[in-house]
Amino acid sequence: MIPFLDLKSLNSAYREELVEAATRVIDSGWYIQGEHLKRFEEEFSAYTGARHCVGVANGLDALILTIRAWKEMGKLKDGDEVIVPANTYIATVLAVTENNLKPILVEPDVDTYNLCPRNVERALTEKTRVIMPVHLYGQLADMPAIDAIAKREKLLVLEDSAQAHGAQVAGKSAGHWGDASGFSFYPGKNLGALGDAGAITSSDAELVRMIQALRNYGSHEKYKNLVRGVNSRLDEIQAAMLSVKLKYLQAQTEARRRVAAIYMAGIKNPLIKMPLDSGTDVMNHTSHVWHLFVVRSKVREALQTHLAASGVQTLIHYPIPPHQQQAYVGADFYNKSFPITECIHREVLSLPISPVMTDAEAQQVVDACNSFSVEA
Ligand SMILES: *Cc1c(COP(=O)(O)O)cnc(C)c1O
């Protein structure tokens, strides 16, 4: 069976270095908010191009605490509207509702699955304060267009970069476009810790100071609390793991691209719709980091069954859109009609993709896709 993602072999490639780094943390006697965190924050902000990075406990907290910080700074208040793509992973929407702000769901671009600038324009109201583009599956949203709207309307931009470490558009990376950007280092993400971790990147020093306080009980200085914060810190041991893995992220991204290129060149089946090849994308200079390789099919269930029978594990990202989740019964977007989003959720299927897949395995996936047909 070709597994969807073999995390064990992915991490064991760096086993020695990871053990060494963990040992250093164990022997240091300092486990929270120390030199390993500081070093990783510096490395990761440099990687994205943003001036600062703040490590937190996970990707959801990165988004929640950024919005919370803007509230503490007086830039946002309860009931303000935040534009989000309707087809996102639920964490994006949770970050808004957790802060008592109002998510305004908009249909994505049907080809890129990302926030559609035209639909953003249509969703603007007097209460709009934030746009949250989600760089879904590893490809940046149309940030030049979104940035232009935000500048014109004086809106904040919070990127959800949880799936897009290193992805670029117009030569600028995820994490460097928005006023702030939330990253996840969940083990399965392109840069994954060996447990939960997340971070915010931003070039706004005041925002960064507020998030640094919020993640640590609202305190800048021990036992002095400026705001009612939370405990959401990135452990030293995870920061040390991430510093090791960040060194190999570029090579891992290249390995993902090689698998994607084999799929792009090899899969030829009219029943399978391929993702947009970012090389020929409408946007200039995009670089896709292929967090997920998502195809579409009108007969998805049959395709998934056929691939499983051919030894290929697939997953669905995601089976139920936020507006149909039970969690949002009673919200004003609950069960509203989003035909593009619903079509995407009915048809998408994620093929295996990871830096540890061999060319032969990728070819096996291609062959399994090409041998798929439906009985008349
Ligand atoms: C993974 C993910 C998150 C949340 O990250 P966690 O670290 O799991 O909390 C947020 N948004 C998107 C788009 C994600 O894929």
182 near 59, Cβ under 8 Å? Answer: yes
Q: Which amino acid is at 69?
A: A
Q: What is the pLDDT of residue 145?
A: 97
> Which DSSP state fits 323?
G
Atom of ligand 1 nearest to the CA of 89: 13
Q: Supply the Cα-derived Rg of the chain in whole angstroms.
A: 21
Best substitution site from 87, 160, 185, 238 to test ligand 1's pocket, by max atoms within 8 Å of Cβ? Answer: 160
Tokens 């305004």 correspond to 104
Block means of pLDDT (10 residues each) for the chain, 376 residues, are: 96 98 98 98 98 98 98 98 98 98 97 96 98 97 97 98 95 96 98 98 98 96 92 98 98 95 96 79 69 98 98 97 98 98 98 97 98 87
Return d(Cα 324, Cα 320) in angstroms, integer: 6
State in Å: Cα 98 to ligand 1 middle.
15
Q: ∠ CA 46-48-52 to the nearest 5 degrees?
A: 60
d(CA 216, CA 230): 6
Q: Can you read off the two tokens belonging to residue 50?
A: 């943003």
Name the nearest CA neighbour of 231 among 33, 18, 10: 33
- To test the pocket of ligand 1, the residue of 89, 93, 136, 242 to mutate (highest count of ligand atoms within 8 Å of its CB) is 89
Fill in the amino acid letter for 205: A
- CB burial readout 169-188, b (16+ within 10 A) else e: beebbbbbbbbbbbbbbbbe
CA of 300 to the centre of ligand 1 (A): 25
Please report the pLDDT score of residue 376 as a whole number.
Answer: 59
Exposure string (b/e) for 98-117, b if CB count within 10 Å is 16 or more?
bbebbbbbbbbbeebbbbbb
> Which letter, b or e, does each residue of 341-371 get, where b requires 16 or more Cβ atoms within 10 Å of its Cβ?
bbebbebbbbbbbbbbbeeebbebbbebbee
Q: Indicate which residue's Cα is closest to atom 12 of ligand 1.
A: 162
Q: In sequence order, what are the beta bridge partners of 108?
A: 115
> Which atom of ligand 1 is the closest one to the Cα of 91?
10
Ligand 1 pocket residues where CB is under 6 Å: 58-60, 88-89, 91-92, 134, 160, 162-163, 184, 186, 196, 198
Closest CA to 63 of 162, 129, 143, 136: 162
C-alpha–C-alpha distance, residues 321 and 298, integer Å: 18
Task: Look up tokens 């915010």; give the residue.
Answer: 200
Q: 88-92: long-range contacts at Cβ-Cβ below 8 A with a sequence spacing of 24 or more? A: 88/134, 88/136, 88/160, 88/322, 89/134, 89/136, 89/162, 89/317, 89/318, 90/318, 90/322, 90/325, 90/327, 91/59, 91/60, 91/63, 91/160, 91/162, 91/184, 92/63, 92/132, 92/134, 92/160, 92/322
What pLDDT was estimated at residue 280?
47
d(CA 328, CA 343): 20
Phi-psi region of 74 (alpha: psi -120 to 50; beta: other; left: phi over 0): left
Determine phi and psi for 129, rounding to 5 degrees. Answer: -125, -25
The pLDDT value given to residue 282: 47
Instruction: Give residue 266 CA to ligand 1 midpoint distance, Å.
Output: 31
- The three-class DSSP label of residue 311 is coil
Whether omega before 263 lies within 30 degrees of 0, making that bond cis, reads: no
Ligand 1, atom 14, lies closest to the CA of 162
Choose among 280, 239, 237, 263: nearest CA to 364: 263
Reported as type and span, the H/E element at residue 348 is: strand 348-351
Distances (CA, A) of 224 to 2, 74, 93, 219, 281: 53, 21, 32, 6, 51
pLDDT of residue 285: 56
